[in-house]
Structure 1
């Protein structure tokens, strides 16, 4: 399996990359990010690309993939809707559209979030934008398109968020996450289980196209 990952510098992306590099079913990984990820592995090839809304220059690099895991995201706190939409809608849709042209046989998985608004008309800005991105991706003619809607995410294996206040929050609440994760699998997942679930879906597919934390945990139990 050849996998393309967007956003491998973020917390979720780091976890997904780790699982891909560890899994023997994944023979090669290409990371596309706006800054170097700082990892070296025989299976990993890194592409640094500034404009995540335009992949014309990278089109020849996007062929031959079996799966694409889009993990790039940002908090909506303090952001105008236009700026948030550029990252949360424009970027994943542009990546998925580029994949349609270069690797239409691939499976595309978008990391969204619990509470995303599929109607696109709710009062909560971030939920509307995420729902719009989900709908656009699910319509594309790929071998498979899926959306992950995790609730709480437990970072594992030393993985940290790039956002300072997230790092502080996770540090302060780390013992609590360890307790909540197994007790509330409907609401809490982990970076490890997200990565494993993505690999399993890329290989086997899934009956549902929008997966909450419970579905992620079920599929991520083993690959």
Structure 2
């Protein structure tokens, strides 16, 4: 399996990258982002590309891949809708439209979030924008596409968020995760489980295109 990963320096992306590099069935991982991950691995190749709305200059390097894991995202706190949509809607669509031309047999996975609004009509801005992104991506002619909607994500294996407020939140939450998992198992997952679930659906598919937090955990459990 050959994988393209967007957002490899974010918390979720770090976890997905780790699982890809550990998986013997993954032959190659290409990360695309505005900054390098700083990691080195025999499987890993990185493209630092500043304009994530235009891939014309690197199209020749994006062909021949089996899967794309789009983990790039940003907190909506304090953002205007147009600015948030640029990252959460326009960037994934720009990448996906390029990749579907080059790799029509690809499986495309987009990390969305719990409570995303598929109607695109709700009052919550981030949920509405992510719903619009999901709907647009599901309309593209990839071999398969899946929208991942994790809820509370526990960072594992030393992974940390780039966002300071999130780092503080996760530090406070760490001792509470065992209790949260016991009380709300449907709403808690880990960076490891998200990565493993992505690899599972590329290999085996999933029963539906939109996967909620409980579905993500179930896929990992089924895989063993």
CA offset at residue 185 of structure 1?
2.5
> 5 Å matches for 1:8-87?
8-87=8-87
CA offset at residue 144 of structure 1?
0.3
Unaligned stretches of 5+ residues in structure 1:
none
- 2:178: which partner in 1? 178
Q: Secondary structure at the match of 1:82?
A: helix
Distance 2:34 2:170 in 1: 24
Unaligned stretches of 5+ residues in structure 2:
none
Distance 1:177 1:37 in 2: 27
- 1:209: which partner in 2? 209
Distance 2:100 2:173 in 1: 41
Can you list the C-alpha shifts for 1:50-103, whole angstroms capped at 9, x where unaligned? 111111111111111110000000000000000000000000111111111111
- 2:126: which partner in 1? 126
If the length of structure 2 is used for normalisation, what is the TM-score? 0.97
CA offset at residue 116 of structure 1?
0.7
CA offset at residue 179 of structure 1?
3.0
Q: Secondary structure at the match of 1:173?
A: helix
Establish whether residue 148 from structure 1 lines up as the match of residue 153 from structure 2: no
CA RMSD of aligned residues (A): 1.0
Q: 1:7 to 1:118 in 2, by over 3 A?
A: same
- Structure 1 segments, 4+ long, off by >3 Å, are none
CA offset at residue 182 of structure 1?
4.9
Distance 1:195 1:86 in 2: 25
Distance 2:60 2:159 in 1: 32
How many aligned residue pairs are there?
A: 223
If the length of structure 1 is used for normalisation, what is the TM-score? 0.98
CA contact (8 A) 1:16 1:196 kept: yes
CA offset at residue 204 of structure 1?
1.0
Q: 1:183 to 1:196 in 2, by over 3 A?
A: farther
Distance 1:181 1:27 in 2: 33
